[in-house]
A = this chain, B = another copy of it.
């Protein structure tokens, strides 16, 4: 059994505790949290501590706190030369204090509170400073997920930016779709199956091959009619810039 201590009590920490509790390869030794109540239903009370000095020995310490707290928390750990990782997609491995052996354990997903998550389908991106530590992280990750990837800090940065496009920006396009529906008294529900199918299609087809629509077929009559139809300036601008980008596909701009 790999002995793990989790530091933090937010969404990521909670989902990790739930996933590890079901794993037979790991044991949660302790959880560090200043808010003991938040974890009451997840871990037995005597395992929760709010003092760094009472942290026991473990094979792996997972710092699951907000990005801007990682550095400070890693400095406060009262030990050295142990394996310490953070769970952030945005922070480089160097954010962690150098007194310990460093790594990253980054589950790539948006976690919401109170939702059940099937951790087995969530990709876990791993980085470590040496092979032995990487193997430890790999064992831990594989005990809760089927998708485990070695991802260094530069790759993780790329993933983080790409995730902004496929998650944040995509969701904003859904919102614009809903706004257009509302303005014309159409139930947004009509569009939901199309949204699901668009996402599912790329499981079997590269996005560039799945592309359809007026921009792709350079149907300027329809494009003009759509621009005419749209009211808010930002919808028009987004329509223009994405249409242009689809039409220039393949050409480096």
**A202 interfacial by beta-carbon distance below 8 Å:** yes
A147 within 8 A of B: yes
Residues of chain B contacted by A244 (CB below 8 angstroms): 234
Q: Does A121 contact B (CB under 8 A)?
A: yes
Residue of A162, A208, A229 with most partner-chain B CB within 10 A: A162
**Residues 213-253 (chain A) with a chain B CB within 8 angstroms:** 213-216, 222, 226, 229-230, 232-234, 237-239, 241-242, 244-246, 248-249, 252-253
Interface residue A172 (Cβ < 8 Å from any Cβ of B): yes
Bound together, the chains give a CA A122 to CA B195 distance in angstroms of: 11
Q: In the complex the two chains form, is B158's CB within 8 Å of A190's CB?
A: no
A16→B137 CA distance, assembly (Å): 51
Question: Are B241 and A237 touching (Cβ within 8 A)?
Answer: yes
Looking at the assembled complex, report how far the CB atom of A25 sits from the nearest CB atom of chain B, in whole angstroms.
Answer: 22
Q: Are B229 and A161 in contact, CB atoms less than 8 angstroms apart?
A: yes
Chain B residue nearest to A167 (CB atoms) is B198
Indicate the size class of the contact surface on chain A.
Answer: 35 or more
Q: Shortest distance in angstroms between A110's beta carbon and chain B's nearest beta carbon? A: 6
Residue contact A238 to B234, C-beta cutoff 8 Å: no
Q: A108-B191, A167-B213, A213-B164 are in contact. Are A185 and B155 (CB under 8 A)?
A: yes
Q: How far, in Å, is A79 (CB) from chain B's closest CB?
A: 31
Inter-chain contact B232/A194, CB cutoff 8 Å: no
Complex: how many Å from CA A176 to CA B249? 10
Residues A171 and B207 in contact in the complex (CB < 8 Å), given A155-B185, A163-B191: yes
B212, A203: Cβ atoms under 8 Å?
no
**Complex: how many Å from CA A237 to CA B210?**
23
In whole angstroms, how far apart are the Cα atoms of A237 and B241 in the complex? 8
**Chain B residues whose C-beta falls within 8 Å of the C-beta of A108 in the assembled complex:** 190-191, 193-194
Please measure, in the bound complex, the distance between the C-alpha atom of A193 and the C-alpha atom of B125, giving whole angstroms: 13
Q: Which residue of B lies closest to A178 (CB)?
A: B207
* A-B pairs, 6 with minimum CB distance: A168-B213, A158-B184, A199-B199, A175-B207, A174-B207, A166-B177
